[in-house]
Amino acid sequence: MENSKYLSVGALTRYLKYKFDQDPYLTRVFLKGELSNVKRHTSGHVFFAIKDEQSVVRAIMFSRNAGSLKFKPEEGQSVLVEGRVSIFESSGQYQVYVEKMEMDGIGLLFEKLEQDKKQLAEKGYFDAQHKKPLPRYPRTITIISSETGAAVKDMITTLGRRYPLVSVTVINTLMQGPRSRQAVIDNLGYADRLENDVIILARGGGSIEDLWTFNEKDVALKIFEMSTPVITGIGHETDTTLVDFIADVRAATPTAAAEMAVPDQQDILERLHQSENHVSRRLAQKLDSSRSRLDTLGSYYKLKNPDLLYDQQAERLVNLKDTLDDRMHNAIKDSSYRLSAMKESVRYNTPGPEIRRGAETLMERRGQLDRAMRIRTGDSRKGLVRVIESLNSLSPTNVLLRGYSFTTHKGTIVKDAHQLELGDEVQSTFAEGSIVSKVTEVNHDGRN
């Protein structure tokens, strides 16, 4: 009889379930929280938990309600749910039976952001082929940001330190709030018309709501349409917005954006020093090579003995002249002999018509021969003159006639003061005559 006062677990659970089901505050509840442990059953039911900073409650959405969802429930989404609270008898745990669910505020924005990102990616807006290259040495940079923020001061300081040659223009812009979207779009267009070399769109860190302007699709499309390269530096290193995907270059922070926009003057100076050293080495190598070639040419045996340059040509000229004289002599002698023979024949015989014609032909031939000889002699003489003039231009004597001389020591031409010592006897040869002198002073540097 004493046991009659004890309830079974099932009885207690059924009683509590009855209480839950009868409580008007539990038959219609509205909850706000974050999804966790989301699982979609093959039956179409969705099992998950709803949590906030303090508590977690289990929930289920049956397939008849889950089919009307406008989004896909995923881990971490912030949602608004409507349903009833009851107890699941098998486990004795209470849970929310969700009838309606929608994304909460920022969650809706994230959902739209994902849709925009997917759409732009499919159209190729993020492809590398659309990225404009940054100039290596920009002359002008426009910064679009709030001029009261610390980010602008940091960027200007960084640009001045790294590359003081660049000219910087700051366009003060509203970077958060309802009116910031249009302000950013308008100032991007204005900056593009300035035709500067680079545009930096940047702002310091903040909440996701503060940075949401840069997740707007029309802001991203404005950047895509611009002709000037754009660097984005939005928020902190972990923040990534839609404009970062579409910009020509994405920097982790505003300061990093300034560093990417310009080269470092220290790197430039280092490269200049390296180039200077390289050019100096190449010039030294070229001079050494040219000096070695000059020394080789200077030791050429014909330059040491200038007579060898024209001896053979002079000898050949004499032979050609003798040959020409012999041929001219023989030709004249042969013509004279034939003429004498013709005269003798005419003297002892009465010339007939044939003889007269032969004589006339002979005289005509002699005239032709004389003219040919004069032409041949004239051409040969001109050629001879040219050869003589060519040899004469190469003659060391002509150099001496212009006031120069050359000096020898023990039969070797002296080209460098280093070849001589005090007391050496040297011979200087002029256009006419030569002298012998003794070295009393040697100046190696070429100065008196």
Both 83 and 185 in one domain: the answer is no
Decide if 123 is inside a domain: no
Q: How confident is the model at residue 320 (pLDDT cuts 50, 70, 90)?
A: confident
Both 96 and 191 in one domain: the answer is no
Q: What is the pLDDT of residue 235?
A: 85
Both 97 and 145 in one domain: the answer is no
Classify the C-alpha dihedral 287-291-294-296 as positive or negative: negative
Residue ending a domain, choose from 210, 231, 263: 263
Both 250 and 170 in one domain: the answer is yes
Decide if 359 is inside a domain: no
| The token pair that represents 206 in the structure block | 């903040």
Residue-wise pLDDT tens digits, 21-60: 888 888 899 998 889 999 999 999 999 999 988 999 999 9
On the question of pLDDT at 236 being above 60, the answer is yes
DSSP 304-353: HSGGGGTHHHHHHHHHHHHHHHHHHHHHHHHHHHHHHHHHHHHHHS---H
Decide if 269 is inside a domain: no
Domain that holds residue 434: 405-439
On the question of pLDDT at 330 being above 90, the answer is no
Radius of gyration, CA atoms only, the chain: 55
Q: What is the CATH number of the domain that holds 66?
A: 2.40.50.140
Q: What is the pLDDT of residue 107?
A: 66
Both 32 and 148 in one domain: the answer is no
Both 86 and 153 in one domain: the answer is no
Decide if 110 is inside a domain: no
What's 7's DSSP letter?
P
Residue-wise pLDDT tens digits, 110-165: 777 888 889 999 999 999 999 999 999 999 999 999 988 889 999 999 999 999 99
What's 214's DSSP letter?
G
Decide if 60 is inside a domain: yes
Residue-wise pLDDT tens digits, 26-36: 889 999 888 99
Decide if 248 is inside a domain: yes
Both 181 and 83 in one domain: the answer is no
Both 80 and 193 in one domain: the answer is no
On the question of pLDDT at 83 being above 60, the answer is yes
On the question of pLDDT at 346 being above 90, the answer is no
Both 202 and 93 in one domain: the answer is no
Both 169 and 94 in one domain: the answer is no
Q: How confident is the model at residue 448 (pLDDT cuts 50, 70, 90)?
A: very low
Task: Give kind and range of the element (H or E) at residue 159.
Answer: helix 150-162
Q: How confident is the model at residue 91 (pLDDT cuts 50, 70, 90)?
A: confident
Q: What is the pLDDT of residue 438?
A: 85
Residue-wise pLDDT tens digits, 278-313: 898 898 888 888 888 877 776 766 666 666 666 677
Q: What is the CATH number of the domain that holds 247?
A: 3.40.50.2300
Q: In this structure, are residues 99 and 69 in contact, taking their beta carbons and an 8 Å threshold?
A: no
d(CA 136, CA 300): 53
Residue ending a domain, choose from 54, 77, 103: 103
Number of CB atoms found within 10 A of residue 242's CB: 23
What is the total count of domains within the chain?
3
Both 73 and 148 in one domain: the answer is no
Task: Give kind and range of the element (H or E) at residue 171.
Answer: strand 167-172
Residue ending a domain, choose from 103, 118, 148: 103
Decide if 58 is inside a domain: yes
pTM for the whole thing? 0.49
Both 183 and 242 in one domain: the answer is yes
Decide if 272 is inside a domain: no
